[in-house]
Amino acid sequence: MNGVHDLGGMDGFTLPQREENEGPILTEEWQRLLWGLVWSMRVPGVSRGGRAAMEQSIPPALYLGMPYYARWLHRAEQSVLESGLVTVAELDNPDGPLSMPDIPNFEPPGPEIIVNGFLAADFSAEMDVDLPSRFSIGDAVIARNDHPVGHTRAPRYVRGRRGTIHRDHGVHEFQDQLPPGVEREMQHLYSVMFTGQELWGSRGGSRDRIYVDLWDDHLESVA
């Protein structure tokens, strides 16, 4: 979707100061609680509220005004509400009566499972699948000019623009939102190089190169 989260190339923002390197990132207690919650809750049927769900459910004007961790809070609330395991009434009165969930054989994972079995685990998104690539390094390509209503990883600023295949990252699961019932496809993922001038016209730096990771389905070959 052409969502507000797709920020590349937008003008009018003021850069914040670069903060000191060693300062804590989670500066407030609620941020620490929230961060711990988001990554330690692993309940069957509850999505972590992926980027798609999160970004598409926040209206643009609100999104830009929300602090970063407030977006995570929104996402965490939405994911548990959508799962049906928690109700709005319960969140409004957290010390009040609760309906207890009935999830067979469920125990919340402990620290060892969460840290070593999840956060520090060897999760690669590259699939061990032998699939021919549609493009080779050095090929000229055009990022498909498509504006799907669902989540897409092809940012607006590359659509319709001509680039060059710089690197083949191997086979990855296609992350764009697919129609219900359609299975996720495996496709090659590439680093595609675009020149600054191709993307931004006369404003693009003549020695700027922008590299974007795009899947086979985002790309067309140049005749």
Residue 162 CB burial class (10 angstroms; 0-12, 13-18, ≥19): middle
- Is 191 among the residues that bind other proteins (CB under 8 A)? yes
Site for other proteins in 47-76 (CB under 8 A): 51, 55, 57-59, 62, 64-70, 73-74, 76
**Nearer CB in complex with other proteins: 91/223:** 91
Angle, helix 68-83 to helix 29-40, in steps of 10 degrees: 40
- Is 118 among the residues that bind other proteins (CB under 8 A)? yes
**Nearer CB in complex with other proteins: 13/149:** 13
CA 44 – CA 47 distance, rounded (Å): 8
Q: How far is the CB of 52 from other proteins (least distance, A)?
A: 10
Stretch that binds other proteins, among 122-130, 134-142, 178-186 (CB under 8 A): 122-130
Rg (CA), the chain: 21
- Is 6 among the residues that bind other proteins (CB under 8 A)? yes
Element (H, E) at 171: strand 162-173
Site for other proteins in 92-111 (CB under 8 A): 92, 94-95, 98, 100-101, 106-111
* Alpha-carbon torsion (136, 141, 143, 145), positive or negative: negative
- Is 141 among the residues that bind other proteins (CB under 8 A)? no
